[in-house]
Structure 1
Amino acid sequence: MKVMVMVKATESSEAGKMPSQELLMAMGEFNERLVDAGIMELGEGLKPSSNGVRIRFSGKDRSITKGPFAETNELVAGYWIWNVQSLDEAVEWVKQCPNPMEDDSDIEIRPLFEMADFEDVDTDGKVKEQEGALRQNLSMQKAKINTYLFFSGRCDEALEYYQKHLGANVELLMRFNESPDPLPEELLQAGFEDKVMHCEFSIGDMRILASDGCNDADSFSGFNLALTLSSEDEAQRVFSALADGGSVRMPLEKTFWSPLYGQVTDKFGMGWMVMLPPAVE
């Protein structure tokens, strides 16, 4: 279940008093624990209500009131979004939180609505379908795409050429014989053990990913698009969509560089490398 954990405002926070460095460090360490536990999805502090506005709705009329607002105990000074197993788990985590204010303070926990809560109202499933489409669009807006080049055994030569003539900056390079995991048998052409398995370089403001590939039988045929997504469900959905009418070159699976990674060529002949970002240590 998802919950919003709200830090209530106090007189000092509404007065704009900044927290001490010691308190900021303590809250930062608490946030690190939340991230390591896989609970925290979002967390932000809010400026005093004197920086905000309120919009009142009355039928078709809208009226705007500028802050500050008087009812300090009803205001929020910061919040988290947590993904927990139960409200009791959220309570246990909040009890471990440093006092977020220099003075006495309150933290409120409120569960977020889930689509299951609206089943009695959404009898035909239209709202659930609309919500699913919206979440899918939001997820895709956060996706990242990089160009991935395959040089069929000439990657070192290409990098040297780009460095000489285009000012390329090689930021990362790993060869097949440096792989921390054993490579599948018969993956590589004989003599490719010292070839480039993966590298990253930049030309101007563009970051490019590249490899020698696994053999020199294929001529250079352009590029793949490396698509990094934020959730396993979305990676599975996108990978299945790209594979429909296309061909899977490597199924989605865990690798040493990604919790989930796979290669697929879509029905238009475009090569894709779908992955999740590296896990946070």
Structure 2
Amino acid sequence: MRVMVIVKASPSSEAGEMPSTELLEAMGKYNEELVKAGIMKSGDGLKPSSTGLRVRFRGNERIVTDGPFAETSELIAGYWLWEVASMDEAVEWVRRCPNPMNEESDIEIRQFYEMDDFSENDPEGKVAAHEDELRTSVVMQDSTLAPYLFFAGRCDEALAFYKQALGANVAFLMRFNESPDGVPEGMLQNGFEDKVMHATVHIGKLTVMCSDGCDDKSSFDGFRLALSLPSEDGCTRVFDSLAQGGSVDMPLTKTFWSPLYGMVTDKFGVGWMVMVPGEPH
């Protein structure tokens, strides 16, 4: 179950008194225990209510009031979000918490509603499905997406080529024989022990991840990398560099969406669309 563990405000927290070094260190160790146990999902402290605002809803009115707010016992100074098996487990973890205040203090534990709790009023699950979509959208707001290329044993050669053709910068590289966990027996093709297990490469503003893979059977069918450049001269230069040893699938030409656009497959089989961006519509 998911619970919010609420640290109630106190006179010292509302006065803006900062915790001592000893308390900060103790809370840091406690949070580390929570993380290692897989219980803590998030948590933060809150500034005094004097820095906050309160909005009262009265019919169609929205009345905004500046802090501070007088009811200290009803305010919160911080919180955690935990995933626990039961309320008893949450209580046991709270008992282990250092006193978060300089005086007597309270920590409140509240269970979250889950969508199953609303099933009677959502018999077809439409609201639940919509909430699930929203949660996925929230998660994806902070995500990143990067292509991962497998070069079938030619990764070192490919990286050298992209350094020369595109000014690529290799930010990280690890070989299979450098892996701290080792490689499971039988996973690698013979002779791949010193091949590239993983590399992170920056090409302009794009991050590309790549590897030799575990054998020489990789291919690059079904996708292309779209590379945009600010000038036609730059576009032509990069297109010609990528075409060395590869093949031109569509020569650079003017299109209705770009003043210069072409497609090329480099000598490693990676397909590229190279272009100058057109005017936005």
TM-score when normalising by structure 2:
0.70
Residue 129 (structure 1) shift? 2.3
Question: What is the percent sequence identity of the aligned residues?
Answer: 61
Post-superposition CA distance 1:127-174 (Å, at most 9, x none): 222222222322333433122223333221233445567665434323
Post-superposition CA distance 1:66-103 (Å, at most 9, x none): 10001111100000010101111100000000011122
The answer for the alignment partner of 2:184 in structure 1 is 182
The answer for the alignment partner of 2:71 in structure 1 is 71
Distance 1:215 1:22 in 2: 54
CA change 1:15–1:116 in 2 (3 A) is same
Unaligned runs of 5+ in 1: 226-281
Kept in 1, the 8 Å contact 2:150–2:219? The answer is no
Distance 1:5 1:72 in 2: 17
CA change 1:154–1:92 in 2 (3 A) is same
- Aligned pair count reads 224
The answer for the alignment partner of 2:110 in structure 1 is 110
CA change 1:124–1:197 in 2 (3 A) is closer
Kept in 2, the 8 Å contact 1:152–1:220? The answer is no
1:31 and 2:69 equivalent? no
Post-superposition CA distance 1:162-209 (Å, at most 9, x none): 556766543432323445132435x52x43332212222334554331
Distance 2:97 2:56 in 1: 34
Kept in 2, the 8 Å contact 1:149–1:223? The answer is no
CA change 1:156–1:222 in 2 (3 A) is farther
The answer for the alignment partner of 1:100 in structure 2 is 100
Q: Which moved more, 1:123-132 or 1:165-174?
A: 165-174
Matches within 5 A, 1:48-197: 48-163=48-163, 168-179=168-179, 180-184=182-186, 187-188=188-189, 190-197=190-197
Kept in 2, the 8 Å contact 1:148–1:224? The answer is no
Counterpart of 2:33, as a letter, is R
1:207 and 2:207 equivalent? yes
Distance 2:212 2:222 in 1: 13
Give the number of the structure whose alpha-carbon radius of gyration is greater: 2
TM-score when normalising by structure 1:
0.70
Unaligned runs of 5+ in 2: 226-281
Distance 2:90 2:144 in 1: 32
Kept in 1, the 8 Å contact 2:176–2:183? The answer is no
* C-alpha RMSD of the superposition: 2.7
Kept in 1, the 8 Å contact 2:151–2:218? The answer is no
